[in-house]
Each structure stands twice: as C-alpha cells, then as structure tokens.
Amino acid sequence: MAGLYKSDVKNPILNWIDSRLPVVTMMQREYGSFPTPKNFNYFWAFGGLAMVNLMIMIATGVFLAMAYTPNTLMAFDSVERIMRDVNYGWLLRYAHANGASMFFIVVYIHTFRGLYYGSYKAPRELPWMLGVVILLLMMATAFMGYVLPWGQMSFWGATVITNLFSAIPVVGESIVTWLWGGFAVDNPTLNRFFSLHYLLPFAIVGVVFLHVVALHITGSNNPLGIEPKGPQDTLPFHPYYTVKDSVAICVYFIVFAVLVFFFPNYLGHPDNYIPANPLVTPAHIVPEWYFLPFYAILRAVPSKLGGVALMFGAIMVLFALPWLDTSKVRSTKFRPIYRIFFWLLVISCVTLGVVGAKPPEGIWVPIGQLATAYYFAHFLLVLPILGKLERPRPLPESISRPVLGGGPLPSGVPAKPMEKA
Amino acid sequence: MSATAHAPGHGPGQDVTKRDFLKLVAGASAAIGVGAIAWPMIDSMNPSKDVLALSTIEVDLTPIAVGQAIVVSWRGQPVFVRHRTEKEIQEAVQTPESDLKDPQPDAARVKPGHAEWLVLVGICTHLGCIPLGNKPTDPRGEFGGWFCPCHGSQYDTSGRIRKGPAPANLPVPAYAFLSDTRIKIG
C-alpha cells in the first residue's frame, strides 16, 4: 500500500477515492474542523459572499454567451433578443448585470473590513496582495463586460478607458492601436473583449484559490486582531461558520433579488440603450458606479499622464499597504486616533464617488482634488507616521478573556455565551 | 575523485564552465522559442490587412456654407470639415503662439490659398471623445472652436488646444484639394 493516503473516511467508495486523491480529507480539514476564531462578526461573511457571487457571475455568463453575438452589427440586437425572446433571458441578463454591482459592493465591504481590522498586517500580507490582484482582474473583467452590449456608454467607455494607455510616453499610441486592432474602437475590439471577458473570470478563480490557500496557512484574522491562543479561542468552521455564512447569504440574496426584480436598471445608464454611434459622444460620459472614485482621481489633475498615473497609483499603493502601516496593532478598535483617519478615508472614497458622477466643473474640481489628496496622504503619510506616534489601547489577553469576563470588554464584541471547541 | 569517474574533458574545473555554457544556450534558445511563438499571437491583435486597406474618401465641399461644418467618417474616425468665416480665420491667425499649449501657426494647419477650409480628425487628444461645435446649437467653448463634453477641453477656430486636460491640437489628416470644391482625405 505504499503511496496511498491512509483515509479515515467510512464510506468505502469515498474511502477508495480519498486514498488516491485526499479531497474529502482536505475539505474536512479546511472547511469542517478548521479552527476558526470564535469572535467573528458579520463582516467576516463577505469573503464567502464574494465566492458565491463569483459562481453566480460565471454561471449566468456562460448561458448568456450562448445567446450573445460579438459583432458590432449584431451585438446590440442580440442583447435585445436575450431580453425579449430567449427564455428567462431577461433574468439571466439582469442577474449578470446587477451581479456585477453586487460583486463590487461585497468586495468593497470585504476590503474595508480588512482595512479596519488590519487583516493585511503580518503574517497575512499575501492574502491581502492576492486580493488586490483579484480586484484588478475584476475591474478589467467588469469594464470589458460593460462594452459587450455595444450601447453608447459601452462604446464611449471603451474609447475613454483604452485611450488611458495613450498617455504612456513614446509607445502609448502603438499600444492603443494594438488594443483596438484598428484606428478606433471597432469590431476587432469587441471580439477580443468578448474573448477576454470570458477568460478573466477563470483567472479570478485561480487567484481566489491562492488567496484562500494562503489564508488557511495563517488562519483568519478576527475583530480583536489578536491571534487565537488555543482551542478555547476557536470553533470548528462547520457547523458554526457554515451556518453563520448561510444567514449572510440569505440576506445577500434578498438584496440581490430586490435589485434584479424591482430596480434592474437603477445602477445602469439609460444611454446604454442607445446603439453605439462612433460619430456622436454622449453629453455626459460616466463609468459604472463602482469605477466612479477612480474616475474622479483621473480627472483630479489637469494633466493627461498625471491623471492616469494617479488613477493606477490609487490601486498600486494598496500593494505596499502591509509595509506602509507601521503599527503592530491590527484592530482599529484599539487605535482611537487611527479610527478617525479610517473614517476620513471612507468619507474621501465616497466623496470621490460622488465627484466622479458630476461634470468636471465648478466646485466639484477642488472637492475632487481634496479627496484625492487625502486618499494618497492616508496611505503615504498617515499610516507610516501615526503607527509610530499613536498609543494604542491595551489589547485583551486572549479572545476568550473579554468574552468570558475578567478582561475589559471591548465595545462591539457581543458577550454571548459560546461553546468551546 | 578518481579520474575514471569523469569522461575526458569533464573533469572538475572544466565541468563548471561547460555546463554553465550549455545551460545558458538552452535557456536562451527556450526564450527565443517562447518569443517566436508569442509574437504571432501578440501581432494578431494589431490592425489586420483589411483594416489597413481602408482607402481614401473624397468630400464634396459645395454644400457647406460659410460658418458651417460637417462630419465625415474616415477609417472609422470622424473628420471635421469646417468652412470658416473671415472672423474665425482672423482670430486663428492673430493668436500669438505664446498663448498656445501646443504651438503651431494657423498657416501650418490649412492648405495654402484655402484658409477658409479647416479639416481635422475630430477626436479629442485627451481620451478620444468627439468634441462638440459642428452644429450651430453646440457649445464651442471660450475660443469659438470645439468643446469636448467629456473632460472639458477647449479648442480654438484652428482646432488648437487652448484650455483643459488635452495635451495636443486636433490632428490634421493627410488630404489634398482635387479642385476648389473637392478634397481627398487619406
């Protein structure tokens, strides 16, 4: 029996498989008995929600692709045919379009949870950085997906975003021509965007796998930001967190259903129901809501290269975040001064989102510049300096202590009785 | 180490440099091979022959009255043809080059003897939107030329960038006058 894995699985068929490919054991170890901090709040459900959302996007997308035609002459009409003639086509398309919005809501909350509770700090730098890669891939996928219906916003969004690369000195124009496959956004562009829009989600699946593997090496962070000291601080993932995540998934589906069935076009733009016209630019070009903060950063400086560099820099700075934050204390719960700056960051991001939706004139220009300045100052000035100056509140001895009494009870941690693992 | 363990020429000392050379050659060959396979894929995304073959177009200027402008499509791009008024020409000619972000005299942007005709690729040099200003009802910006609705770039009556984020003037395509009332673009 050399080379076979010694499986404890009772079922003979599963045991036969598990001895040769220990997937049952792996699932049991990583999602069954996996020791998980016992003090998670509902913000820890958003990783699982993102996973569910990714599966929904791939499933609806595969079936939409069966009815969609990636040709400039037929794309718009094929989408209308999906809406009117294909059985449940309207449901698939509205679920896919609003699913993209839900995906960004979930992922942005997941990201800000990581920021608030210091989940990016050692030893979890790689889960964080892989997460930023996932965000970049999501943005590329969402952008190319929005081009496929070939409406006015599709066409002009594609034109503006691909032209960002023309800001690169010397080779910029050649890169843009290469991206387009012509001298303007046209049929070759639509074809390749469809190909890549189908490919990238599977790249996302791959990076998500690495993100989760790296997370399961270090174990999850928790609202207190201190490591579990022993079995009294953890619970097996199943049934405790499978059930807790299920509650979150139900709430998520309620919100999703309200969007799909009652406000399916609320987050879209009416101009995208006008077929693409390469000779007329709509009066106000705005990207989808989830790109608005980045769009505002792009327009914050009156320089083409400067704006593009700042916009990409806004994401790139996140890669350096684990080393920019000099504080050893993870949870913002114990960092009274940083908490103020955290909320200033949230406000600056929301402000950028509002500014991105407005025409670039009047009072919106200085407001956008101020919010952009704070965004970068937060990461490049506040985090490195504050970590050295701030005196954090005392950390609890262990996760169990504040829950079972004895230690100071940090606000926000529910003191509910929990069984030991 | 006994001498019999090594074939001639593979003794210690010699062995190292020879192996290193073989590794470098193998590595370089693999890199060239990967590049040779990758290039056709990358180049397949560049404009294809049929796209490049899109030829020239001819435009009849007779229906365009003084002060009017039309848009024609060339290589999938909009081309503006504007019949400038005497006032617009004077404004364009008299603008000092020190006022310009991308200095170019008006004479370099029109054909000699045809200063009333301005032919431009109508794509904002910022991020590729189509500037407004061809219809009489369109906003033309502070300089009477074109106004880009996307990010607020403003062009003058010679199509030169005057204000806003765009870095360069609207480009003048290659064109020639076939007669006084007919041009060939491309």
CB proximity A186 to B under 8 Å: yes
> What are A18-30's pLDDT values in tens digits?
999 999 999 999 9
> What are B36-50's pLDDT values in tens digits?
999 999 999 998 888
pLDDT number for residue B99:
84
What percentage of chain A reaches a pLDDT higher than 70? 95
pLDDT 10s per residue in chain B (186 long)? 444 445 555 555 556 788 899 999 999 999 999 999 999 999 999 988 888 777 688 899 999 989 889 999 888 789 999 999 999 999 888 888 888 888 999 889 999 988 899 999 999 988 888 999 888 888 888 888 999 888 888 999 999 999 888 888 999 998 999 998 899 988
Q: Looking at the annotation, which residues of B are catalytic?
A: 151
Residue in the structure block whose two tokens are 């020409």: B89
pLDDT number for residue A420:
43
**Cα–Cα distances in angstroms (integers) from residue B156 to residues A280, A401, B116, B127, B139, in the given order:** 20, 72, 14, 18, 12
Mutation target to probe the A interface, by most A beta carbons within 10 A, among B43, B45, B72 is B45
> What are A113-140's pLDDT values in tens digits?
999 999 999 999 999 999 999 999 999 9
* pLDDT of A282 over the 90 cut: no
A230: its two tokens: 């022993």
DSSP state, residue A68: -
Alpha-carbon distance of A189 to A386, in angstroms, equals: 47
Determine the average pLDDT of the residues in A355-361: 87
> What does pTM read for this prediction?
0.85
pLDDT number for residue A303:
81
Alpha-carbon distance of A117 to B115, in angstroms, equals: 66
Alpha-carbon distance of A277 to A261, in angstroms, equals: 30
CB proximity A306 to B under 8 Å: no
Least confident of A126-135, A161-170, A324-333: A161-170
CB proximity A303 to B under 8 Å: yes
From B5, B112, B121, select the one nearest B57 (Cα to Cα). B121
pLDDT number for residue A186:
92
Look at B46 and A181 and tell me if their CB atoms are within 8 Å: yes
From A206, A208, A216, A205, select the one nearest A32 (Cα to Cα). A216
pLDDT number for residue A400:
86
Confidence of residue A417 (pLDDT cuts 50, 70, 90): very low
**For residue A51, with 0-12 CB atoms within 10 Å meaning exposed, 13-18 middle and 19 or more buried, which class applies?**
middle
> What are A244-276's pLDDT values in tens digits?
999 999 999 999 999 999 999 999 999 999 999
> What are B2-43's pLDDT values in tens digits?
444 455 555 555 567 888 999 999 999 999 999 999 999 999
Question: Chain B interface residues facing chain A, Cβ-Cβ under 8 Å?
Answer: 42, 45-48, 51, 71, 73, 75-78, 123, 126-132, 148-152, 164-167
Confidence of residue A82 (pLDDT cuts 50, 70, 90): very high
| CA atoms within a 13 Å half-sphere pointing along the CA-CB vector of A91 | 5
Least confident of A140-144, A161-165, A324-328: A161-165
ipTM over 0.85: no
